[in-house]
Structure 1
Amino acid sequence: MATQTPSSSTSEVSKKRKRRPTSSTSELGKKRKGDDSSPPRWKYEVFLSFYGKDTRKSFTDHLYVDLKRKGILVFRDDETLQRGEYISKALLKAIRESQYAIVIFSANYAFSKWCLMELAEIVEWEEKKRLTVLPIFYHVDPCDVRNQSGSFAEAFTAHEKDPKIDKKDTDMWKNALRKAGSIAGWHIHDRYESTIIQEISGRLSRELNSKFSRHDYDKLVAIDSHVDKMMELLDMESDDVRFVGIHGMGGVGKTTLAEIIYDRVSSDCRFEGSSFISRVREKSATARDLASLQKELLSMIMQEEIPIWDHHEGIRMIKKILQNKKVFIVLDDVDSDEQLTALAGDRKWFGPGSRVIITSRDSHLLRTHEVKHTYKVKQLETTKALQLFSLSAFKKTHPIEDYKDLSMDFVNYAQGLPLALKVLGSFLYEREIDAWKSEKDKLKAIPNPKIMDVLQISFDGLQKLQKELFLDLACLFQKSLVSYEMLESCGYYRIDIEVLIEKSLISKSKYGWCKDLSMHDLLKEMGQELVRCECPQVPGQRSRLFHVEDLYQVLKNDTGTDAIKGIVMDFCPKTKQRLNAEALSKMRKLRFFKFHHSQNIKWHGNPLKYMPTNELQFLEWSGYHLKSLPSSFQPKNLTVLRMSRSHIKQLWKGPMDLDNLKEFDLSYSENLIETPDLTGAPNLENINLKGCKNLCEVHPSIGSLKRLKQLALYECSSLEKLPDLSKLECLTNLWVKETAITQIPSVNLLPKSMSLFTFEGRELMRDSTYDIGSLVEYHMEGKHEVQVRCIDFDSKAEKILDIAGGIVAKLNGDAMMISGWSLGFNIPEWVRYKSNGSSVTIDLDGITNPEMGCALFIVCDSDEFYPLDEDTSISLLFKKCIDFSTVRLDLLFRRDEEEYWEECSFRYYYMPPLLDGCLTKGIGFWVYIPAVLQFLQFLNIRRRFIKISFQACLFDELGLDPLIEVKECGVHLVCPDDGAKSEFFNSIAPFRRSVSSDSDSNSDFHRLYSAVIGKKKETGFGNFHIRRASSVELFHLLFREMCRMFENLKL
Structure 2
Amino acid sequence: MALVKAADPQTSSSNASRYCRYHVFLSFRGQDTRKTFTDHLYTALVSAGFHTFRDDDEVERGEGIKPELQKAIKHSRTSVIVFSKDYVSSQWCLDELVMILERKRRTSDDHVVLPVFYDVDPSHVRKQTGSLAKAFARHQKSQPLQKVKAWREALAEVADLAGMVLQNQANGYESKFIKKIVKVIGDKLSRTPLSVAPNLVGMHSKVERINFWLQRRSTDVGILVIYGMSGIGKTTIAKTVYNSNFRIFEGSSFLENIKEVSQQPNGLVQIQTQLLSDILNGTKMKISNVSEGLIKVEDAISSKRVLLVLDDVDHMDQLDAVLRMKDRFYPGSKIIITTRHARLLRAHQVTEVYAVETLTQEESLELFSWHAFGQDHPIEDYIEYSEKLVDHCGGLPLALKVLGSSLLGGSICLWKSALEKLEAIPNGEIINKLRVSYDSLQDDHDRELFLHIACFFVGMDKDNIVKILDGCDFYTIVGIQNLVDRCLVTIIDGWDKVHMHDLIRGMGREIVRLESKEPWKRSRVWHHKDSFKILTKKNGTETIEGLALDMHMCPTNSPINSNEKVLETNAFSRMHELKLLHLSHVKLNGCYAEFCTGLRWLCWLEFPLDSIPTDFPVGNLIVLEMQYSGLRQIYEGTKVCYYMHFNFCSFH
* TM-score normalised over the length of structure 1: 0.47
**1:129–1:553 Cα change, 3 Å:** closer
Question: Post-superposition shift, 1:203?
Answer: 5.8
Superimposed CA distance per residue, residues 941-968 of structure 1 (whole angstroms, 9 cap, x where no aligned partner)? xxxxxxxxxxxxxxxxxxxxxxxxxxxx
CA contact (8 A) 1:236 1:353 kept: no
Counterpart check, 1:238 vs 2:218: yes
Q: Answer with 248-257 or 316-325: which moved more.
A: 316-325
Counterpart check, 1:310 vs 2:295: no
Cross-structure match for 1:550? 530
Counterpart check, 1:405 vs 2:369: no
Q: Pick one of 439, 454, 457 that aligns with 2:433.
A: 454
* Rg larger for: 1
**For 1:393 and 1:544, how far apart are their aligned partners in 2?**
35
Question: Post-superposition shift, 1:103?
Answer: 10
Q: Which structure carries more strand by proportion?
A: 1
Cross-structure match for 2:278? 300
CA contact (8 A) 1:248 1:361 kept: yes
**For 1:345 and 1:490, how far apart are their aligned partners in 2?**
39
Q: Pick one of 494, 502, 510 that aligns with 1:513.
A: 494
Counterpart check, 1:388 vs 2:367: yes
Question: Post-superposition shift, 1:133?
Answer: 10
**For 2:113 and 2:468, how far apart are their aligned partners in 1?**
73
Superimposed CA distance per residue, residues 848-892 of structure 1 (whole angstroms, 9 cap, x where no aligned partner)? xxxxxxxxxxxxxxxxxxxxxxxxxxxxxxxxxxxxxxxxxxxxx
Question: Post-superposition shift, 1:142?
Answer: 6.6
Cross-structure match for 2:602? 619
CA contact (8 A) 1:593 1:618 kept: yes
SS at match of 2:604: strand
**Structure 1 gaps, min length 5:** 1-20, 30-35, 77-94, 106-122, 144-182, 674-1051
Q: Answer with 304-313 or 185-194: which moved more.
A: 185-194
Cross-structure match for 1:591? 579
SS at match of 2:457: coil
Question: Post-superposition shift, 1:643?
Answer: 0.5
CA contact (8 A) 2:594 2:617 kept: no
Question: Post-superposition shift, 1:47?
Answer: 9.0
Q: Pick one of 295, 301, 320 that aligns with 1:341.
A: 320
CA contact (8 A) 1:311 1:342 kept: no
SS at match of 1:610: coil
Q: Pick one of 601, 621, 633 that aligns with 1:638.
A: 621
Q: Pick one of 274, 290, 308 that aligns with 2:268.
A: 290
Read off the aligned partner of 2:602 and give its amino acid letter. L
Cross-structure match for 1:260? 240
* TM-score normalised over the length of structure 2: 0.74
Q: Which structure carries more helix by proportion?
A: 2
Superimposed CA distance per residue, residues 247-282 of structure 1 (whole angstroms, 9 cap, x where no aligned partner)? 1111111111101100111122xx111111111111
**For 1:622 and 1:449, how far apart are their aligned partners in 2?**
34
**For 2:463 and 2:412, how far apart are their aligned partners in 1?**
44
**1:454–1:101 Cα change, 3 Å:** closer
Cross-structure match for 1:931? none
SS at match of 1:613: coil
**For 1:619 and 1:630, how far apart are their aligned partners in 2?**
15
Question: Post-superposition shift, 1:649?
Answer: 2.4
Aligned 1:55-204 pairs, distance under 5 A: 73=50, 186-189=164-167, 191=169, 201-202=183-184
Read off the aligned partner of 1:522 and give its amino acid letter. L
**For 1:439 and 1:507, how far apart are their aligned partners in 2?**
29
Superimposed CA distance per residue, residues 730-760 of structure 1 (whole angstroms, 9 cap, x where no aligned partner)? xxxxxxxxxxxxxxxxxxxxxxxxxxxxxxx
Superimposed CA distance per residue, residues 87-145 of structure 1 (whole angstroms, 9 cap, x where no aligned partner)? xxxxxxxx99987697999xxxxxxxxxxxxxxxxx9xx8999999978689xx679xx
- Aligned residues: CA RMSD: 4.3
CA contact (8 A) 1:596 1:621 kept: yes
Question: Post-superposition shift, 1:532?
Answer: 0.7
SS at match of 1:321: helix
CA contact (8 A) 1:247 1:377 kept: yes
Cross-structure match for 1:650? 633
Read off the aligned partner of 1:635 and give its amino acid letter. V
Counterpart check, 1:524 vs 2:512: no
Question: Post-superposition shift, 1:216?
Answer: 5.1
Question: Post-superposition shift, 1:467?
Answer: 0.8
CA contact (8 A) 2:238 2:309 kept: yes
Cross-structure match for 1:227? 207
**For 2:600 and 2:177, how far apart are their aligned partners in 1?**
72
**For 2:252 and 2:80, how far apart are their aligned partners in 1?**
24
Question: Post-superposition shift, 1:665?
Answer: 0.8
Q: Pick one of 569, 578, 602 that aligns with 2:549.
A: 569
Counterpart check, 1:475 vs 2:458: no
CA contact (8 A) 2:211 2:245 kept: no
SS at match of 1:243: strand
CA contact (8 A) 1:390 1:397 kept: yes
**For 1:240 and 1:101, how far apart are their aligned partners in 2?**
32
**For 2:590 and 2:445, how far apart are their aligned partners in 1?**
35
Q: Pick one of 401, 404, 410 that aligns with 1:422.
A: 401
The answer to which structure, 1 or 2, has the higher relative contact order (CA under 8 A, 6+ apart) is 2
Q: Pick one of 254, 263, 269 that aligns with 1:276.
A: 254
**1:102–1:236 Cα change, 3 Å:** closer
CA contact (8 A) 1:272 1:326 kept: yes
Question: Post-superposition shift, 1:329?
Answer: 1.0
SS at match of 1:266: helix
**For 1:278 and 1:603, how far apart are their aligned partners in 2?**
57
Question: Post-superposition shift, 1:324?
Answer: 3.3
Read off the aligned partner of 1:397 and give its amino acid letter. D
**For 1:662 and 1:195, how far apart are their aligned partners in 2?**
84
Cross-structure match for 2:590? 605
**1:513–1:604 Cα change, 3 Å:** same
**For 1:128 and 1:636, how far apart are their aligned partners in 2?**
83
**Structure 2 gaps, min length 5:** 1-7, 54-71, 84-92, 104-111, 122-157
Read off the aligned partner of 1:666 and give its amino acid letter. F
**For 1:100 and 1:246, how far apart are their aligned partners in 2?**
31
Question: Post-superposition shift, 1:402?
Answer: 1.8
**For 2:569 and 2:115, how far apart are their aligned partners in 1?**
90
**1:378–1:198 Cα change, 3 Å:** farther
Question: Post-superposition shift, 1:520?
Answer: 0.7
CA contact (8 A) 1:484 1:497 kept: no
**For 1:23 and 1:568, how far apart are their aligned partners in 2?**
67
Read off the aligned partner of 2:502 and give its amino acid letter. D
Which stretches of structure 1, 4 residues or more, deviate above 4 A after TM superposition?
21-25, 46-51, 95-105, 126-138, 192-210
Cross-structure match for 2:60? none
**1:436–1:516 Cα change, 3 Å:** same
Q: Answer with 257-266 or 365-374: which moved more.
A: 365-374
Read off the aligned partner of 1:524 and give its amino acid letter. R
**1:199–1:345 Cα change, 3 Å:** farther
Read off the aligned partner of 2:278 and give its amino acid letter. M
SS at match of 1:490: helix
**For 1:393 and 1:24, how far apart are their aligned partners in 2?**
35
Read off the aligned partner of 1:628 and give its amino acid letter. S
SS at match of 1:329: strand
Cross-structure match for 2:515? 534
Cross-structure match for 1:378? 357
**For 2:313 and 2:45, how far apart are their aligned partners in 1?**
37
Read off the aligned partner of 2:211 and give its amino acid letter. M
**1:638–1:207 Cα change, 3 Å:** same
Cross-structure match for 1:434? 413
**1:605–1:274 Cα change, 3 Å:** same
